Structure 1
Amino acid sequence: MNEMLAIALLIGASACFAMAEIGIAASRKIKLRVLVGEGSHKAQDVLDLQQNPGAFFAMIQIALNAISILGGIIGEEALTPYVKEGLGLVYQGPALDQISFALSFFCITALFILFADLLPKRIAVNLPEVTAVRLVTPMRWVTYAVMPLVMLFNGITNAVLRLLKLPTEREEQVTTEDIVAMMDAGAEDGSLQQQEYELIGNVFDLDTALISGVMTPRDQIVYFDLDESVELISQKVVDHPHNDFLVCDGSLEKIRGSVESKMILQQVLKGEMSGLSALSFSKEVLYLPETLTLAEGLNAFKTATQPFAVVVNEYATVVGLVTVKDMLSGFMGQLITHEDDQLIIQRDEHSWLMDGMTPISDVMRTLDIDEFPERGQYETVAGFMIHQLKRLPRKTDSCLYEGYKFEVLDLEGVRVEQLLVTRLNG
């Protein structure tokens, strides 16, 4: 009975070491840091062990090998007599001792494999942080107890790693790919909502998407001329209810400032509106190059007092106008976009209507396309059509890409107004 109790204790000890090994190795640093923030000192101990795991793994291997050897010795002596006695009831041949030993060895090995290896490791894999936090303290005590052996084997291991020019410490960096993988896993199991998934994914586009992809293009900018009549100004305010308007002297190349629509409305209601020249409109205008990313554009607005910015190209020609809302809509999408202003409308399961100014990143996400050809040459789906056709598109022009048909439905002048995208293999 003493020997059987010793075997049970060895199996239990081996199970603890196996769980600690897997638990500490598999614990996620992000989850552990959350636990540390909640006040768990043991979670910090696990992080420290992960940073310098050499001594810990040396201790684990010493302990597991010692337990395996002891288990084999004790188990063979404990079980062989009983196995031999039971087997002797049906067999008394010359190979009785060898068969009894083999059966007892198999039984002990099976017990260790099942209860000291497979089951504890499965538990640790399923609950790595919980396992690691609970076992880290006793594991550190054992490490201190066998420190001379740990230092010997760990030192030899480090010397071999350096000889092979391999790292001796664990280096873990959370990359964009890691975050995307966690997002995909969260979306699949339902812990991450669809809107949250899309919003986090869009944030990664801030450093790649350009403000030219979300700006109001030049031909759609509504501005006031200094010489315009009161009636024409009032009509523009009614037809285009924006908060602010540019004030120009003849064309967009001669911007003189900006004016708030409420200031014009106040003058009209008082009957004192005689023209823009009589108004004290703002002379300050924020200019941004079209090559800025969304992240850089948002940073520019942090210190600016203007509600919008004029976007210019390398030749200082005005190419568009952008607001903070435009840039936010570039990565927040439908969360802040009114249904009537959506750039992508799904008609049915296999077709979509798209505005020509839809950012190509939104098209990729909607159609689940990983990449577009020479993406750096354009920012919108209209630009993609021009790139593919090698000319300005005409109505009904189309191209095929990644199993989708992109067809021009409507033009305004030479600008692509709307496209129909159809999945061909649907």
Structure 2
Amino acid sequence: MLELTVIIICLFLNALLASSETALIALNKPTLKALSKQGNEKAQQLLDLRENPERTLSTIQVGITFVGAFAAAIGGAGAEEALAPWLHTQFNLSEAMAELLAILIVVIPLTYATVVFGELVPKTLALRRSMHVASLSATWLQAASRILNPIVSLLEWSTKKIVNFFPAKHTKEEENERENDSSILESVSSQNRQYIMNMVKIERTSIKEIFVPWREVAFIEAPQPILEVEKIVISSGHTRLPVLKNNQVIGILNTKEFLAYQKSGKTDWMGLCRPVVTVQESSWILTALRLLQDKRAHMAIVFKGNQKTGIVTMEAIFEEIIGDIYDENDDGSLKKILSSVRFS
């Protein structure tokens, strides 16, 4: 049991190191420079790590090598001590064959787990959220670099010496692209630069980080008399409300349209419901934005699998880009507006 615990810890550490490596490589240097100029200390940390890739990668590689060797040693020792004798007695194998088979039984699953859970999964996730993962890694990577200074410095020196035999050759297009990235960020105003930074950020931000949990969502249960619906509409103060039937979202009601419809004396309000747009929690914000644009909708119901978990609105997505947007409901004004529409 102790061996299994140690191997799981080693897998976790390997995943941490692998994700940090990928996240740092995926970062955009012009973006980091722009953030650093704004006084972002974390961006400066990441920029320092990116400016000396030989040292950063040496630190990560030392960790990955040590963790991998330790996990293999523990797994091999456990196989030889516990599994080999059992195979020897149960299947009447020779000691050498039992030891070889025991090691294979342990090493093959361990290799699979290391590749999938220690490398592929963390690296893929790091690519999706490179800034977030790299920010979490910056401090401890710098600390590890100092602690492992002798061996890291040796590897850094060796790498630089060997790499110098292969001088970098950048195409004119690549150099122009770098210059353009930097000049664009430096030429715009601080407010517009912040918009650009926000756009870069939300490219790898999921709906899960901005949606309103279902427990906080006001909704209408159908069918209900129009007067009961009116009470919910006015008390909520929202311009759009999900409509449920048998716990299933069947439409979205525009409350201003509803009150205008009610004022005309009609009562069959269900016909006002608009089609439901759905997104998964794991979807990217920009994916949801494009979906809402395509469907010409302002609200989507958020699901985790088949379970509804909340809502996301066009306004919430825009706020991630340009900051807070004033809403009539922020100070309770919308309730007054809705009431006046009803009673005027």
TM-score by length of 1: 0.37
Higher relative contact order (CA 8 A, sep 6+): 2
Larger Rg: 1
Between structures 1 and 2, the one with greater helix share: 2
Between structures 1 and 2, the one with greater strand share: 1
TM-score by length of 2: 0.45
